[in-house]
Amino acid sequence: MKFNTEYLWFNTDRKRDYVNITGEVADAVAESGVEEGMVLVSAMHITAGVYVNDAESGLIQDIDEWLEELAPFDPDYRHHRTGETNGDAHLKSLLIHHEVIVPITEGQLDLGPWQQIHYAEFDGQRRKRVIIKVMGE
């Protein structure tokens, strides 16, 4: 079995941001030489996430508004009693989730017609990373 591990680093300009990372993940798969297997893509921070969906800008805005409705910024989160101000970012991360697993078939990401891999940042403007772990034959 072959393995390849790579890291992506982010420092977004905005507090909340959505970055299409499909190309970077595909590059990691190509570099691995894996023909059949899977790739794990995981945000290594508790205020960020990774998801698979369409890259259409209106949908991304809808996702952002939906998350803000479900987990709005609120100065009264109990988490803020620790001196933090990012309670909503933790909740948004739980809703999106922190990782995805994508199949690899014939050396390529095996995504549906509109599927793309996205990094979701909910407490940006500081350095964070994502791990890409390619596994297979």
pLDDT at 82 (0 to 100): 95
CA distances from 92 to 9, 23, 46, 70, 130 (A): 20, 24, 10, 8, 17
pLDDT tens track for 84-129: 999 999 999 999 999 999 999 999 999 999 999 999 999 999 999 9
What are the structural domains, with CATH classification, of the chain?
2-136 (2.60.120.460)
Dump strand ranges (E) for the chain: 2-10, 17-20, 36-43, 48-53, 99-105, 108-109, 116-121, 128-136
Q: What pTM was estimated for this model as a whole?
A: 0.96
- Tokens at 89, concatenated: 């970012």
Task: Report CA torsion sign: 88, 121, 38, 113.
Answer: positive
